[in-house]
Chain A
């Protein structure tokens, strides 16, 4: 074969091969706003098969919604348990394989905007598309907005408090109705609980995979501190409050040996231990109990919750967060409206979808948890939701009353949150794995590093 022929054949083979593999890679795009007025949208984070009841409810809601809106077709996509796994989300987002409506955390906003994969939806969001829009909590809305432009719709929110195991409290002779309110009380209770032996940690906390820094932040907020100065340029935790956070942990870990021997925990580790009855207390949001039950085989009856402890009295603030849905760029106006209507139906209407307590009551799902608290206190929707929730509660509402009735101001995550959390994992792991850890030196090191992060990303 002559050289030109060779080139032709090679080019052909390459083109054919590439074409084939690219065709295999690209995701099929559904008909966008077809002429006959039919609209199809894809939605991710359909519950996984293991959550049989949640999945059945979701599918039933899709059918009911489509009956209400015969021109709309909802195509549900399950991405497995990946909804809880940030790296998987990033991969889908950056790879451009997100669905028309895609799930994300409040803290994903910047990443979603930067990726160029999402669209701004300000002009579509109003009472016509989401009837409860005006009642939705302003903080939650703000977390999905950027300079007044709406990029996402909040569908869940949470704030942290002290989650505790009632069983272990009773066994340790502690008052189940009166959980610790300060860190000194947490320490005393942890000591008693860990004295039960059997590998039980009185108090447990994170120190790996960025969750250590996340909880350092929550506990610093409780002391009244902040991670980053108000202008966002300097680290602001190398002070007495930051020291106190680490000192409390170190005292429990090595002073009292009340935090168990296994450290370097990340999110599923702690909850697995908790579900197994090996954790007396931890800092978390009400929905951690849902995770303990639905993902880690624990029991609702075991758990109760009090407000976030502070140093000398109630916490000065607590870390808040939440989740919602974004919209893929390039959707037609009809698709966006259809998406908003679906979210309104499934996530934001009292008595429907995630708030359908009548349906959830007999299922193994908690009814009566104080959060999500998506509607502004005092609004019509909030009153309606509260009434329905109380009427159908299947958990002991009193177990969460202390948390609900003693609200602590909510503070959201700092800028560059994950990079800062990664740095603070170092300090958290130091006080939890090294009896000789020097708190001052650890905080200084973390401060320098966070300043470096803020400078190089500024």
Chain B
């Protein structure tokens, strides 16, 4: 709770207390002030110290505020403004909802949303569940713990583009020479065209994306798992719970909050699907099967001389993601 509210409300405590604003929790200051003896030094020096302390606080704050203002808030506001304008022949005019209308009528608009939703759902099923079970598994190991954890985290350290090129050229090669096809063939299973098959495009992207990103989630789950008191498991075992029983009745309830938070983060992150289609599918993929909303924004902004349409789609996406983020903030406040 504290970091969220504390950073956002430095004003209130600063006006009444003598603590540094950014580390003050509302409520505590007043109490502590009451408990303190009256100031020994004169009012001028106390005031000087207050100013000095506050200034230090604001100086620290300034960096973050400037970074957010320049790289997040300003571009966001600018994006919203641009979505209601159109620049033609160097002249920018207000065009109302024209850009929104145009972008909704883009031939790939609904395909992009469908693809993105499909990816998000698949990623939720695999990319979300797999790390949890990997974490449970890792938590059970008694030996080589550090080694195994490093192994799971390793892909996260690869730059995403390099990891995806590995998949593209090595694993998803549609000929029999491809890694996955070679394995399938050795097992006498039918091979796949991978990224060249519209049906396989999304599952293949989810597979690569999960492999790339799950390390971080696994570590978070591991931390949560280690916070579960061991006696709960003992009690469950005494009550006759098997492995599944223990996971269901102890592990899941104890990590519920982390699980739901991670689900929200996962949705917001996967809906911004971009680099996977860009690299694995060279953009739209076979018959538009890889086009994502973010890729469509990129197409309009950078290829089709339509930054305003791109901005409109960006705003639509912002609103959708904002909905999910609101759920996240609500969950976060329960932490």
Q: How far is the CB of B62 from chain A (nearest CB, A)?
A: 4
Q: Answer yes or no: B66 CB below 8 A from chain A CBs.
A: yes
Q: How many of chain B's residues touch chain A, expressed as a range?
A: 35 or more
Residues of B within 8 A of A199 (CB): 175, 177
Q: How far is the CB of B9 from chain A (nearest CB, A)?
A: 12
Residues of B within 8 A of A452 (CB): 105-107
A17-B65, A18-B66 given; A429·B15 CB < 8 A: no
- CB closest chain-A residue, reference B303: A418
Residues of A within 8 A of B87 (CB): 114-116
Q: Across the interface, do B15 and A3 meet the contact criterion of CB distance under 8 Å?
A: yes
Q: Across the interface, do A433 and B89 meet the contact criterion of CB distance under 8 Å?
A: no
Q: How far is the CB of A117 from chain B (nearest CB, A)?
A: 8
Which residues of B (20-78) have their CB < 8 Å from a CB of A? 50-51, 54-55, 58-59, 61-63, 65-66, 69-70
Q: Across the interface, do B299 and A422 meet the contact criterion of CB distance under 8 Å?
A: yes
Q: Across the interface, do A426 and B288 meet the contact criterion of CB distance under 8 Å?
A: yes
Q: Mark B241-273, 1 if CB is under 8 A from A, else 0.
A: 000000000000000000000000000000000
- CB closest chain-B residue, reference A199: B175
Q: Answer yes or no: A283 CB below 8 A from chain B CBs.
A: no
A114-B90, A422-B284, A429-B286 given; A261·B66 CB < 8 A: no
Give the distance in Å from the alpha carbon of A456 to the alpha carbon of B286 in the complex.
Answer: 25
Give the interface segment out of B193-201, B207-215, B313-321.
Answer: B193-201
Q: Across the interface, do A13 and B107 meet the contact criterion of CB distance under 8 Å?
A: no
Give the distance in Å from the alpha carbon of A382 to the alpha carbon of B102 in the complex.
Answer: 46
Give the interface segment out of A87-95, A180-188, A287-295.
Answer: A87-95
Q: Answer yes or no: A9 CB below 8 A from chain B CBs.
A: yes
Q: Mark A114-141, 1 if CB is under 8 A from B, else 0.
A: 1111000000000000000000000000
Q: Answer yes or no: A1 CB below 8 A from chain B CBs.
A: yes
Q: Answer yes or no: A174 CB below 8 A from chain B CBs.
A: no
Q: Across the interface, do B90 and A456 meet the contact criterion of CB distance under 8 Å?
A: no
Q: Across the interface, do B66 and A87 meet the contact criterion of CB distance under 8 Å?
A: no
Give the distance in Å from the alpha carbon of A169 to the alpha carbon of B284 in the complex.
Answer: 34
Q: Across the interface, do A429 and B65 meet the contact criterion of CB distance under 8 Å?
A: no
Q: Answer yes or no: A364 CB below 8 A from chain B CBs.
A: no
Q: Answer yes or no: A170 CB below 8 A from chain B CBs.
A: no
Interface residue from B281, B298, B305 paired with A87 (Cβ < 8 Å): B298
- CB closest chain-B residue, reference A117: B90
A116-B90, A429-B286 given; A87·B303 CB < 8 A: yes
Which residues of A (413-458) have their CB < 8 Å from a CB of B? 416, 418-419, 422-423, 425-426, 429-430, 433-434, 448-450, 452-453, 455-457
Q: Answer yes or no: A196 CB below 8 A from chain B CBs.
A: no
Residues of A within 8 A of B66 (CB): 13-14, 17-18, 20-21
Q: Answer yes or no: A163 CB below 8 A from chain B CBs.
A: no
Q: Across the interface, do B282 and A264 meet the contact criterion of CB distance under 8 Å?
A: yes
Q: Across the interface, do B298 and A264 meet the contact criterion of CB distance under 8 Å?
A: no
Interface residue from B55, B89, B283, B287 paired with A9 (Cβ < 8 Å): B55
Interface residue from B61, B177, B288, B302 paired with A86 (Cβ < 8 Å): B302
Give the distance in Å from the alpha carbon of A6 to the alpha carbon of B90 in the complex.
Answer: 41
Q: Answer yes or no: B304 CB below 8 A from chain A CBs.
A: yes
Residues of A within 8 A of B196 (CB): 262-264, 433
A91-B302, A261-B174 given; A1·B14 CB < 8 A: yes
Give the distance in Å from the alpha carbon of A452 to the alpha carbon of B106 in the complex.
Answer: 7
Q: Across the interface, do A94 and B105 meet the contact criterion of CB distance under 8 Å?
A: no
Which residues of A (259-276) have their CB < 8 Å from a CB of B? 261-266, 269
- CB closest chain-A residue, reference B102: A456
Q: Answer yes or no: B11 CB below 8 A from chain A CBs.
A: yes
Q: Across the interface, do B301 and A90 meet the contact criterion of CB distance under 8 Å?
A: yes
Give the distance in Å from the alpha carbon of A449 to the alpha carbon of B106 in the complex.
Answer: 8
Q: Tell which of A90, A426, A457 has the most Cβ of chain B within 10 Å.
A: A426
Q: Across the interface, do B304 and A422 meet the contact criterion of CB distance under 8 Å?
A: yes
Q: Across the interface, do B197 and A433 meet the contact criterion of CB distance under 8 Å?
A: yes
Q: Across the interface, do B15 and A6 meet the contact criterion of CB distance under 8 Å?
A: yes
Q: How far is the CB of A40 from chain B (nearest CB, A)?
A: 25
Q: Across the interface, do B89 and A456 meet the contact criterion of CB distance under 8 Å?
A: no
Smallest CB-CB A-B distances: 4 pairs = A116-B90, A17-B66, A449-B107, A208-B282
**A1-B51, A2-B15, A433-B287 known, 6 other contacts, Cβ within 8 Å:** A13-B65, A16-B62, A263-B196, A266-B282, A266-B283, A434-B198
What are 16 pairs between A and B in contact, CB < 8 Å?
Answer: A3-B15, A14-B65, A17-B62, A18-B69, A21-B70, A94-B307, A111-B305, A207-B286, A208-B284, A262-B174, A263-B286, A418-B299, A425-B283, A434-B286, A450-B107, A452-B105
